[in-house]
Structure 1
Amino acid sequence: MTTPGNDGPRLSDEDRDRIVQRLQHAFAEGRLSPEELDERLERALTAISGGDLMPVTAGLPDPVVEDVVQLRSTGGRIKRTGEWRVPRRLRVESEYGGVVLDLSQAVVDHPRIEIDLRLAYGSATIVLPPGATADVDGVATEWGGVTCKVPARAHPGRPHVQVTGELAYGSVRVRYPRPWS
């Protein structure tokens, strides 16, 4: 059984404030009734982890889309792990090097995340938080493979990752964290 606060890293006051602003904006646009606003504000202010916030923002449009965050490397490895903030859109470019994107402990503010991979010689591993889903149908590889060990169909209230891109010589793996990690 999942209990509040066990779904990702603990929230900061800044995380809660951002969601409160989003709810107030939705109310000002007429997307929420006063009762819905009160209920969602209470849940947002008492949330412990990012997973607790998913139902608070359910049914609301994504906030203003920021530009694509780009990670680039010519010959080194690109690695993001721990409590990093995941952008809504991420483009990863690498000529010679592997990519590891571990979202299992990351701060995920968006219900849908787009990851575009552009790798010449290297593979990518994407680790998702338990319960998240991913669609990898948009990935093309010439000399490699695509392995997805998570469900592809999006589920309401859970993060969904759309993976696209091109790999000349490499593979893509999408999985949940290993129990011994």
Structure 2
Amino acid sequence: MAPGRGELRASDKDREQVVELLRVAAGDGRLSADELDGRLEAALTARTYGELDALLTDLPGAGPALARGVAATLPKELTRIAVGSASAKRDGDWVVPQRMQVECKSGSVVLDFTGAVITSPTLEIEASVGSGSVTLVVPPDVLVDVEDVAVGSGKVENRTRVAPGTPVRLRVHVTGKVGPGSITVR
């Protein structure tokens, strides 16, 4: 009989990935220095996936993603989305990359961060919007800056505000250009 995933031996790379997730959680204020030290020691000496999973179960985004495998939580460096008159959507538990290039000629692109797996504190989005639309849906702990977008006859609108004292889990910086289309953050 084959062992369950939790009983399988973890590799050095698996342990390093969990260490990085723990450091991000501590940087977000989710773990105290003492908790981080204890979990880092446990991660570095873990033998199985089950031992690594246990270190992340109470951290938003990390636990469910780890259940699919540690590697599933690692972000790509760059993700490209290009639509003509079609539409594209990222929602649910998608893994947020470090950088995105979004090209939207006349269709629509929706990036919903409310259930996303966020493992990096920043995201750079380079947008090129023709007559289409790009919409970012963000939870209260995601800060979006759209000040560096050149606007033609279209519009850029940020309807969100991070309340004072709220720890920011992700900072999104949007650059690029908008023709007659729009970029909306809500």
Question: TM-score band (shorter)?
Answer: 0.5 to 0.7
1:147-166 equivalences under 5 Å are 147-151=157-161, 157-166=168-177
Q: Is the 8 A contact 1:81 1:106 kept in 2?
A: yes
Structure 1 regions of 5+ residues with no counterpart? 1-12, 26-34, 54-63, 176-181
* 1:90 and 2:100 aligned: yes
Aligned residue for 1:130, secondary structure, equals coil
> Which range moves more in the overlay, 158-167 or 40-49?
40-49
Q: Structure 1 residues 18 and 172 mapped into 2: Cα distance closer, same or farther (>3 Å)?
A: farther
Q: Is the 8 A contact 1:135 1:152 kept in 2?
A: no
* Letter in structure 1 aligned against 2:182: S
2:182 matched residue in structure 1: 171
* Letter in structure 2 aligned against 1:38: D
Displacement of 1:72: 1.2
Displacement of 1:107: 0.7
Within 2, Cα distance between the matches of 1:85 and 1:48?
Answer: 18
Of Structure 1 and Structure 2, the greater helix share is in: 2
Q: Is the 8 A contact 2:131 2:181 kept in 1?
A: yes
With normalisation by structure 2, the TM-score equals 0.62
* Letter in structure 1 aligned against 2:84: T
Q: What percentage of residue pairs aligned between the two structures are identical?
A: 36
2:20 matched residue in structure 1: 22
Deviations 1:5-55 (A, max 9, x none): xxxxxxxx89x8564243799xxxxxxxxx7863342698144333689xx
Q: 1:137 aligns with which of 147, 152, 158?
A: 147
Report how many aligned residue pairs link the two structures.
Answer: 144
Displacement of 1:98: 1.1
Within 2, Cα distance between the matches of 1:125 and 1:153?
Answer: 21
RMSD: 3.6
Within 2, Cα distance between the matches of 1:130 and 1:150?
Answer: 8
Aligned residue for 1:85, secondary structure, equals coil
1:111 matched residue in structure 2: 121
Within 1, Cα distance between the matches of 2:184 and 2:133?
Answer: 8
With normalisation by structure 1, the TM-score equals 0.64
Aligned residue for 1:137, secondary structure, equals strand
Aligned residue for 1:110, secondary structure, equals coil
